[in-house]
Amino acid sequence: MLEEALYAAEAVAAQHMYADEGLAALGRELARIRPQLALTVARGSSDHAASYFAYLAMQRLGVPVVSLPMSIVTLHQSPLAVKGQLAVAVSQSGQSPDLVDTMKALSDAGAHTVALVNKPHSPLAEACHWAAPLCAGEEKSVAATKSYITALSAVARLVAHWQNDAGLLAALENLPQRLTEAAAQDWSAAIKVLQPAERIMVVGRGLGFAVALEAALKFKETCAIQAEAFSGAEIKHGPMALIDEGYPLLVFAPRGPEQQGLIALAAEMRGRGAKVLLAAPADVDSRDLTLSVADDEALDPLLAIQSFYLMAARLSEARGLNPDVPRHLSKVTCTR
């Protein structure tokens, strides 16, 4: 897990070389056909990447994005009025039957189907009109790391080309260097706090919520910590009742309009006696963990999860676990 997470910068550079041209062509096609709705189809870490796509597409393009429950198609065979709309599947293996069958059905119903998949020669890629490789290379660790980061990168490339956003495209060219900088951040303070933890709440908002979701999953699968992710806007609608003296929270507060609210939330939770780990850029004095910043703030979540992955791998080992082989889990999950 540690080695693969460290490879993310090289994988993103490979994606720029080998996948960018195809994503540019797809972006131009989407600008031409102008879909009014997008569906995402994914599970696990890939679904968290789809969440990032949803926020980014809605923020920058104004296109509503909905996560499709696959059982609507695979178990209920419900007819979906999706002709002319966009459907994006995200996957590492491209093999799970529910993803493949759902995208086949959406293609048959007239949707413009896209697979962002690490294995381009896969059943999922064959089921879609368009397929773009993530270029992460083989992942041997069960816990996805570099494939998640390259999924976020592919999503950002697609939106940037769709919008013809020169600034975001330029920032993506510099992303490998920024990921290398993020890998050098010292998050050892989090290991000291979390080594004895049995539970944790992970908080984010906006584009950063995709990182909170992914971090919570990694806490569960690699560190055996019961973790839940919440939006900073939702935590006071019930979840805050769980927080008492010593309760650990990891709050991701990257740049953006959501940041000040998350910093204020961290301060409030500290006042309740919680063990708060505030991850924020270097200009935030109250931070506990430092977040690197990208050349476009839309890419800051990729740097945040890069720093987190390295900490999580070391935390797993500090808790006497093997992050590469989480118990009860396998690399390819097949559901229907």
Sign of the four-CA dihedral 180, 304, 310, 14: negative
* Catalytic annotation, pick one of 140, 192, 236, 331: 331
In the chain, residues under CATH classification 3.40.50.10490 are: 1-175, 185-319
* Distance (Å, whole) CA 265 – CA 254: 14
175, 144, 184, 214: which is closest to 10 by C-alpha? Answer: 175
Bridge partner residues of 251 (DSSP): 203, 278
* Distance (Å, whole) CA 253 – CA 276: 12
* Distance (Å, whole) CA 247 – CA 23: 43
CB-CB contact of 251 with 266 (8 Å): yes
Q: What is the pLDDT of residue 331?
A: 45
Q: Give the global pTM.
A: 0.94
Tokens 């908080």 map to which residue?
Answer: 203
Q: What is the pLDDT of residue 334?
A: 53
Q: What is the pLDDT of residue 326?
A: 62
* Distance (Å, whole) CA 195 – CA 174: 34
Give the H or E element holding residue 202.
strand 199-204
Q: What is the pLDDT of residue 243?
A: 86
Tokens 């994606």 map to which residue?
Answer: 15
Tokens 């309740």 map to which residue?
Answer: 272
Tell me which CATH code domain 1-175 carries.
3.40.50.10490
CATH superfamily entry for domain 185-319: Glucose-6-phosphate isomerase like protein; domain 1 (3.40.50.10490)
CB within 8 Å of 191: residues ≥ 6 apart: 311, 314, 315, 318
Q: What is the pLDDT of residue 240?
A: 73
Q: Is 331 a catalytic residue?
A: yes
Q: What is the CA radius of gyration of the chain?
A: 19
CB-CB contact of 16 with 151 (8 Å): no
The full length of the chain comes to 336
Chain centroid, CA 252 distance in Å: 13
Q: What is the pLDDT of residue 325?
A: 74
* Distance (Å, whole) CA 310 – CA 55: 25
251 CB neighbour count, 10 Å cutoff = 28
The pLDDT averaged over each successive group of 10 residues in the chain (336 residues) is 92 97 98 98 96 98 97 92 97 94 97 96 96 92 88 98 98 98 98 96 97 97 95 83 89 98 96 96 98 98 98 96 69 53
DSSP 135-184: ------SSS-SHHHHHHHHHHHHHHHHHHT-HHHHHHHHTHHHHHHHHHT
